[in-house]
Amino acid sequence: MLGRLASARGAATEALLRCPKSLPPLLTASAAVRFFGTGDGDASSAQERLALDMIQYAFGLARSQKSGDSYSHAMLVLEQGMSNLRGGGGGGAVEGTSSSDNAMGMILLAMSTLLYERRELQDANEKLEAVHQLGRASIDLIVAACEGRVGLNLETGQDANSLLLADDCSHLLRASEEGGVPVSEVTKFRAKSIKGLVDLINGDLESAYGGSKECGMGRTENQLGTSLLSQGEISHCIGNFSLSKELYEKALLTSETKNTSSMSYPASTNMVPEEVTIGAACALGQLLSHSGKFAEAEEQLTKALVKAEEHFGSTHPKVGVILTCIAIMYKRKAQAEASSSILIQEGLYRKATDLLKAPDLNDKVVALLDRSDIIALARGGYADLLCIQQNRKEEGARMKRWAESMWRNKRLSLAEALEFPEPTKAAVIDTRTCRVL
């Protein structure tokens, strides 16, 4: 095994340094820029161009097979890139220069994303922390690393850490501007959207809404897909469905566009464009379900499901998150149309809880469980389904008690999340962080 990995390292490095144009077209250069550009839509130095070549090759290699070996080989390519940059190779890089630090920051973000896709969350977070330790990386890269760390912390239930990181990011931008460092409007919006998402998950809807108004809620020019999605979720939660729909649709358009000029800012882990596309389609499907437009809701949720299966694989927990949204949509559709879809809902809830790796009902409730919001929601919805069946009421009541003991949402009760009593009580599932907002 070690021999194969060493061979892969040598072959990849030789191909990249000697003849970059000969790399297999596994990921287009424009797609690499969408993830890891440095703010101007282009790699402005030899070091950054080499970093983009390596990222292009590594992502294509990892995702072409989606196997342990393919991801390991991709990581070796990126590690070699870091080694070249630290050693002054790769087109004349000089350690300590801004371009070299930017190139290393781009590679660290890429490594973090690959580790995240393999569910190695602690290692992914360490790569993002390393971006902050670079001496002269651009403010865009630092904010991207902060956004990724916030996303990881929210996904694993570390809400207090997320709030600290979001506040630190805001302080960094203020200090940069006061120190004469130019900060783009996109980066400012991005930092405020990070804070808004954290506030929303912490149950502080007033602060989330206030921050969004401050950065121009509804203003869509020069904004990233992930910022538009977060603002859409905030407007969804306050009951402004028309604005929310506009923001979700713009987030989808922005994350899917082939024009990289507005997608040149870096992203990592659960905040990359693929995640935004999945999240915006799922959120739009939920909004349409809340609006009673069930055919359109099913279309968007199916789109999100297909994209999640393509990106993560059919057995990934995030597929279970979307199946939960679809099951809840069918419940609302049955209630609105006075119809029945018990078998469909039950099948969806069973599959969702299996993919979410929900613990056995006999197990002791764990205080901090990954995706606990969604597991409790899926179990609660399943319990409601069982309770309307005469011969399964006892099983349903037991499952309901379990779900309520697991529920941690600070804005809504489990019953409110399942029943949607009014627009301002809409439960919105964010697939990026696997949280109920």
Domain spans, the chain: 1-137, 138-271, 296-436
Rounded Cα distance, 284 and 304, in Å: 10
Q: Would you state the pLDDT for residue 185?
A: 87
- Whether the Cβ atoms of residue 56 and residue 63 lie closer than 8 Å to each other: no
Please tell me whether residue 6 adopts helix, strand or coil conformation.
Answer: helix
Rounded Cα distance, 375 and 380, in Å: 8
| 31-40, 83-92, 399-408: which is most confident | 399-408
Does the pLDDT value for residue 348 go beyond 70?
yes
Q: Would you state the pLDDT for residue 369?
A: 73
- Whether the Cβ atoms of residue 265 and residue 144 lie closer than 8 Å to each other: yes
Q: What is the pTM of this model?
A: 0.84
Q: Classify burial at 5, counting beta carbons within 10 Å of its beta carbon; exposed 0-12, middle 13-18, buried 19 or more.
A: middle
Q: Would you state the pLDDT for residue 83?
A: 87
Does the pLDDT value for residue 337 go beyond 50?
yes
The set of residues, in sequence order, having a beta carbon less than 8 Å from that of 154 and lying 6+ positions away, is: 162, 197, 198, 201, 433, 435
Nearest to 319 by CA among 282, 286, 287: 282
Q: What is the CATH number of domain 138-271?
A: 1.25.40
Rounded Cα distance, 222 and 90, in Å: 32
pLDDT digits (tens, 9 = 90+) for 53-75: 889 899 999 988 888 899 999 99
pLDDT digits (tens, 9 = 90+) for 182-209: 888 888 889 999 999 999 999 888 888 8
